[in-house]
Amino acid sequence: MSLEATSWSPQFETVLRARLPLLSPDEPLPPDVNLQNLGLDSLDTVQLMGDLESEFSIVFTDDLLTAATFSSAGKLWAAVAQLSADTPPGT
């Protein structure tokens, strides 16, 4: 699996932006920028994970609970997209 992506859903960007205090609302969110540089700290990472699990009805698997997964928007969206594809409808 490649953990890179450049196109994501508006819901994903809304959830992610809520946890990035150093990204202004009118500034684009590049897929490869380090999320820590945009203000994502360890507590926000845990909260972001919960937000994404709720929004997309997914559960992050142990193999995705890494700093690399949460390092950039592109890598994080790739993980969310993979988990969404692996989740049967209605669960």
Neighbours of 8 (CB within 10 A): 18
* % of the chain surpassing 70 pLDDT: 88
Residues 28, 85, 40, 3, CA torsion sign? negative
What is the model's pTM?
0.88
DSSP summary character for residue 79: H
* pLDDT score for 7: 87
Domains and CATH numbers, the chain: 10-86 (1.10.1200.10)
**pLDDT per residue as tens digits for the range 8-57:** 999 999 999 999 999 999 999 999 999 999 999 999 999 999 999 999 99
